[in-house]
Structure 1
Amino acid sequence: MRSSRTLFHTAALSLVMTAASLGATAAHAADKISIMVGGYEKQIYLPAKLAESLGYFKDEGLDVELLNEPAGVDAENEMLAGAVQGVVGFYDHCIDLQGKGKFVESVVQFSQAPGEVELVSSKHPEIKSPADFKGKSLGVTGLGSSTNFLTQYLAVKNGLKLGDFTSVPVGAGQTFIAAMQQDAIQAGMTTEPTISRLLKTGEAKVLIDMRSMDGTKAVLGGTYPAASLYMQTSWVDDHKEETQKLANAFVKTLHFINTHSAAEIADKMPKDFYVGDKEGYVKALENGKAMFTADGVMPEDGPKTVLAVLSEFSKNVQGKTIDLSKTYTTAFVKNAK
């Protein structure tokens, strides 16, 4: 009898332990999140890889997979298809997509300036302003990308029509550099560290600089929230716990950026991001570090500036009523640990 009872209790305990194990596995699986980054070697998207390097995702009990996609518009499409749960990309996609009837929101706002520069090939000194883009091929990361949005805005603002120039999708980094070297593009919009690489060799010059707040306001008329973690509103509503954990990790990362030197931050990044020039990488980060927010909160005046820019040329936005309050949320960052 005692043997039977022992056997029964052992079996029962085994079932409880198995159930607990399965529950833990299920909980762990629920916390697996895939985030696509619109080029994670770009300094504008540095918080994504930095959060991973600092172990902040793991600290929150999250299993985050970062996927690299050089063009933000392709990352956006992957999210809409359900292949990934979030995108580290420009906030302007949230407004553009609402114009298409899709609701996406910035959950953590990484930056308050684009961090973008319009570079002109040294072979084309005749390009002295965006008004000179007529008949030119202009490099952007991808068609429908944020660099394309901004390029179109600069051209239209300076009296050109969209058909007066050609946007050429050339990505960033080496593909952008090669396109300029081969004269496939005469000018183009890109970020660090690509900017510094071309300036160092003298192959390009700065036409428009949006790496700083002052430079951004001069060109775009106000604060321009750019790099962010954005997600489908429906996913955020159904996964508030996971979203809060992500916000916790990224707010800690932004605080780290705000309280550490460019050299200290660079030391936490993968060495291949330096592209053989760590000194140049650190210098570029020193010049652009101020673009990052300290707390992940959307700048109050920012969404209006982005809407004004998109309204100039985006057929998805023109004539549409855009509810800006639905393009971002500050709830999670304000509750971050």
Structure 2
Amino acid sequence: MQNISFIKSAISRREFFCASALAASAFVAPRFALAAEPEKKSVTIAVGGKNLYYYLPMAFADWNGFFKEEGLDVKVVDFQGGSKSLQAVVGGSADVVSGAFEHTLSMQTKRQAMRAFVLQGSAPQCVFAVNNRTMKDFKSVADLRGKRIGVTAPGSSSHVIANFVFAQAGVKSNEFSVIGIGSGAGAVAAVRAGQVDAFVGLDPVISQLEGDGLIRIVTDTRNVDESNALFGGPMVAGCLYAPQRFLDENPETCRRLARAVVRSLKFIAECSPDDLMKIVPKSAFLGNPELYKTGFIKNRPALSKDGRFPDGCAQISAKALASVNPKLADFPFDYAAAFTNEFV
């Protein structure tokens, strides 16, 4: 019995010292990491729908204080759609965009160098769904010729996905009408009122409408495999990107922004829905916490695990852009300039 007590005591001491060492490393590591001062401590991030799972890693870093712990004073400004948030950076009212990766390529066509520096989503998380109210006899995507298709905003990633789904069904982009309906309550209202016959949206809107039996899902890019099959490779989604000049002038600031987002990704990958909801503000739940949990579980697999951009992602995004604007099919994109993993 004495030997058993001694062994238990030894194990306890070993566990204690291991835990102490881990705690010490967790305390010391940030001190080394923060040795260099950020060039710009106050940063404004523009986003097109902060409460969407699409932007959850960035939003969570804000809500949970990860940006502050990195020594940054981050202000997140919310806009209706990714195109609007991009305009804010171009206009100089914001420093960084939390938006769709393909905008880094589309800006090359305007001779404006934008570069992504930390990935949030490995797949678009968008869902193409049919309105059960106006399309009761829906059998295939071809039935939507001449119909009204809702997207978060014209030219957005949701518009790209609509084009890809239609293309697979042999329907041309000029054979349906595109209507911007946003990504929140406006989208829900548009579907309920029958203003669109089908739409491409994100959660929690999708989970809410599906739960009410108002839509039928046709294509679901919350599933990475389904997304890869649709696009023919990795169609990466939400990321932080900024003008190349901002990255050049503020490398330590970008490094800290990226590190905060990666911390979010790692936390989100392991946490329970209940733990997440203790930090997410109630305004994100659309009045239904259980619905938010459901959406989180469905969207989590599409989030990046490490914030890194995979090989070939820029080429896939360029192909997606050409679906919206055929003139871009022959544009000489600089794929390497669209992203960097340097700061992750």
Please state which band the TM-score falls in when normalised by the shorter chain. 0.7 to 0.9
Alignment counterpart, residue 243 of structure 2, candidates 212, 229, 232? 232
User: Which residues of structure 1 form unaligned runs of 5+?
Assistant: 1-26
Q: Which amino acid aligns with 1:278?
A: P
Q: Mean alpha-carbon deviation: is it higher for 259-268 or for 126-135?
A: 126-135
Q: TM-score normalized by structure 1?
A: 0.87
Measured against aligned partners, the alpha-carbon deviations of 1:99-125 in whole angstroms (never above 9, x if no partner) come to 222211111111111111011111203
**Runs (5+) with no aligned partner, structure 2:** 1-36
**1:189-268 → structure 2 map (5 Å cutoff):** 189-268=200-279
Whether the 8 Å contact between 1:153 and 1:313 is mirrored in structure 2 is no
The Cα shift of 1:92 comes to: 1.0
d(CA) in 1 for partners of 2:254 and 2:322? 30
Tell which deviates more after alignment, 149-158 or 80-89: 149-158
Change (3 A) 1:29 1:245: closer
Equivalent position to 2:157, from 146, 162, 166: 146
For residue 284 of structure 1, report the CA deviation from its aligned partner. 1.3
The answer to which of 223-232 and 127-136 deviates more is 127-136
Closer, same or farther in 2 for the Cα pair 1:186/1:221, shift >3 Å?
same
Matched-pair contact (CA < 8 Å) for 1:156–1:313? no
Q: Tell me which of 76, 84, 88 is aligned to 1:66.
A: 76
Question: Could you tell me the TM-score, scaled by structure 2's length?
Answer: 0.85
In structure 2, the residue matched to 1:97 is: 107
Counterpart of 1:20 in structure 2 is none
2:339 corresponds, among 324, 328, 331, to: 328
CA distance in 2 between partners of 1:319 and 1:126 (Å):
40
* 1:114-133 pair list within 5 angstroms: 114-123=124-133, 124-133=135-144
8 Å contact kept, 1:152–1:162: yes
CA deviation after TM superposition for structure 1 residue 328, in Å = 0.4
Per the TM alignment, residue 259 of structure 1 is displaced from its structure 2 partner at its CA by 2.1
- More divergent stretch after superposition (87-96 vs 259-268): 259-268
Distance in 2 (CA, whole Å) between partners of 1:157 and 1:79 is 34
Please state how far the C-alpha of 1:253 moved relative to its aligned partner: 1.1
8 Å contact kept, 2:160–2:323: no
Query: What does residue 305 of structure 2 align with?
Result: 294
Q: What SS does the aligned partner of 2:242 have?
A: strand
Whether 2:59 is the aligned partner of 1:49: answer: yes
Aligned AA (1:165): F
Shift of 1:28: 9.1
* Counterpart amino acid of residue 305 in structure 2: A
Deviation at 1:45, TM superposition (A): 0.8
Report what 2:29 is aligned to: none
